[in-house]
Amino acid sequence: MKKNTSAHRLRPVNNSYPNGDRLDSKQLLAALTAFKRGDFSAQLPDDWTGMAGEVADTFNEVIRINQSLTQELARIERVVGKEGRI
């Protein structure tokens, strides 16, 4: 997966990262809560490995997709608002 270096990355307390399949549930909850509020800059670290890494990659991709869809909807809203048609 491509790395989004411009995005704000949430870091766990004590700068520790999960090893293998161990997932930092507090960090995951913080990222999910930020996403729920519409904060598309909330990303999980891309250096996690194992199952935790797959969860992080999938979460970050969902964020990117939703951000892209939101931007496209805003663009369509501007076009429809000016022209009255798509």
Instruction: Give every residue of the chain whose pLDDT is below 70, as ranges.
Output: 1-21, 85-86
Helices within 1-49 (DSSP H only) = 25-36
pLDDT of residue 13: 44
- 67-75: long-range contacts (C-beta < 8 A, 24 or more apart)? 67/40, 70/40
Domain range annotation of the chain: 13-83
What's this model's pTM, rounded to 2 decimal places? 0.69
